[in-house]
Amino acid sequence: MRIAYISYEYPPDTAVGGIGTYTWQMSKAMALQNCDVEVFTASPTREITERVDNVNIHRIKINNQKDFNLAIVEAFENVHLNNRFDIIECAENGVNALNIIKKYPNIPLVVRLHTPGVLVTRMQNTYAPLIAKLRFVLGALIRGKIDLGFWSKHDKNQDQDVEYLITKQAKLITAPSESLKKWAVDFWGIAPQKIKVIPNPYLPADEFLNIPIENTNTTITFYGRLNVLKGCVPLTHAIKKVLKKHPDWSFKIVGKNENSHITNVDMKSWMQFELKNYKSNIEFIEWLDYNAVPNLLRKSAICVFPSLFESFSYTCCESMSAGRAVVGSKNGGMKELLTGKCGLLVNPKRPREIADAICKFIETPELRTTYGKHARQKVINEYNLEKIGNATFERFSKLMS
């Protein structure tokens, strides 16, 4: 079976998010299934074809997705015409294979759902002022349309959404969680039988697995982008409640600073203002090399990820593999990751619920240890390359039969 993965993101050159991590680990998983795997990706600095972990990687020197989507057709064609591919896979996000599919519509397309842009936008608008939401609805009415915007249960403009259009063309759609599948069925109206849930593969590095689970740390860590989607607004209010009750504990907030829910105010500035009475208990770190993450987790007792929605969550997997106690969102794929006494699930819009879960872990060290052990074992057993590769190979084989 010859598989072409088309992904602008791929480490190390364009390791900018979860799509790159997924494509890297999934390409290795399918190579272990004795598939002939090739990845077509971007690089800001080099044009090269190299073989790594039994995967051929074609890097095109380009630094934006729009140009990549055009340039990738020729690169793909040069390989395909000499040795034809059986399957093409790409993410819905970025629609990197759109132009290839237009030219080669007979090659079966698999679309891997990650987090559609319309879902991100709706989540980011969660705390938009009511007047702004009403203004949007009124503007639509003035133009002679009925568009409820934030309150709509369906996307009225999906026929102009290229992510939806490429997903609709796919012979097979895969999703990393039941939560994301349900969203695609409910919001995009995709037939449920067309979507197969296969978790993301995750191969934890030894640096995570070698971290002792039992510890006496007093640090609670959040790491991820600082924005609305990642739950930074309710987290901020929860931090106040936790530190009022446990002033001897501290928080580390690690991640790229982005926009807040308030116009012209970045999230870090808003959080620092809200938490000014606790600034001695809070450390903000805007950038951290990935190789430093194991040490960050080694010094942490609890990790908290109150995202408004996550399709999967590699940060949660990393914390689980490190044996940390995790407080995670029950909205999205983290619910599936943390079931089985692997973490405490909370409603991410309720600061009191987030704070209570953190305090429960603070006050019961033995619970942190128990959940940490379960979490590490689940990552090893359920998300390894062999298990996920087997499930994917089986599904791809049915697609080709």
CATH superfamily, with its number, for domain 2-119+157-201+385-400: Glycogen Phosphorylase B; (3.40.50.2000)
Q: What is the pLDDT of residues 40-91, one digit of tens each?
A: 999 999 999 999 999 999 999 998 999 999 999 999 999 999 999 999 999 9
Q: Which comes out higher in pLDDT, residue 16 or 365?
A: 365
Same fold, 2-119+157-201+385-400 and 206-382: yes
Residue spans of the domains in the chain: they are 2-119+157-201+385-400, 125-151, 206-382
Average pLDDT rounded to a whole number, residues 255-280: 95
Q: What is the pLDDT of residues 311-325, one digit of tens each?
A: 999 999 999 999 999
- Write a three-state SS string for the chain: CEEEEECCCECCCECCCHHHHHHHHHHHHHHCCCCEEEEEEEECCCCEEEEECCEEEEEEECCCHHHHHHHHHHHHHHHHCCCCCCEEEEECCCCCCHHHHHHCCCCCEEEECCCCHHHHHHHHCCCCCHHHHHHHHHHHHHCCCCCCHHHCCCCCCHHHCHHHHHHHHCCEEEECCHHHHHHHHHHHCCCHHHEEECCCCCCCCHHHHCCCCCCCCCEEEEECCECCCCCHHHHHHHHHHHHHHCCCCEEEEECCECECCCCCCEHHHHHHHHCHHHHHHEEEECCCCHHHHHHHHHCCCEEEECCCCECCCHHHHHHHHCCCEEEEECCECHHHHHCCCCCEEECCCCHHHHHHHHHHHHHCHHHHHHHHHHHHHHHHHHCCHHHHHHHHHHHHHHHHC
CATH entry, 206-382, from 3.40.570.10, 2.120.10.30, 3.40.50.2000, 3.40.50.880 = 3.40.50.2000
Q: Say if residue 148's pLDDT is above 70.
A: no
Q: What is the pLDDT of residues 335-351, one digit of tens each?
A: 999 999 999 999 999 99
Q: Say if residue 379's pLDDT is above 90.
A: yes
Average pLDDT rounded to a whole number, residues 248-257: 97
